[in-house]
Amino acid sequence: MIKVVKRDGTEEELIWEKIVVSVLKTGAPVNVARKIAYMTVGKIYMDGKDKVTAKELTGIILGFLRKENEEWYKNWIIYDRAVKKRETEKELQK
């Protein structure tokens, strides 16, 4: 079982369905999202890792996504920036 080390240091099990959902948000079709999820998990296994940081995981996904379609890759970046901006604003309001 592969663990994902999140930005706050907590760990959770890597669930490939979460990768599928994230890739779908870019506009990619289901078959491509599943393909990227399987390739991502496969790469981590092939690298012999049992833990991966969220940043590393994102990098792997983005690499595969960019190879598939540049627009989907850009959509991920735009969405990710918007989410991080919202999180920062929430922290500042506390």
Q: Is the confidence at residue 54, as pLDDT, over 80?
A: yes
- Domain assignment of residue 93, yes or no: no
Residue 11 lies in a domain: yes
Residue 83 within a domain: yes
**Domain with 59 in it:** 3-87
Instruction: Render pLDDT for 18-30 as a digit per residue (tens, 0 to 9).
Output: 999 999 999 999 9
DSSP code string of 4-59: EE-TTS-EEE--HHHHHHHHHTTT--HHHHHHHHHHHHHHHHHTT-SEEEHHHHHH
pTM of the model: 0.86
Assigned domain for 78 exists = yes
pLDDT in the model for residue 89: 73
| Number of folded domains that form the chain | 1
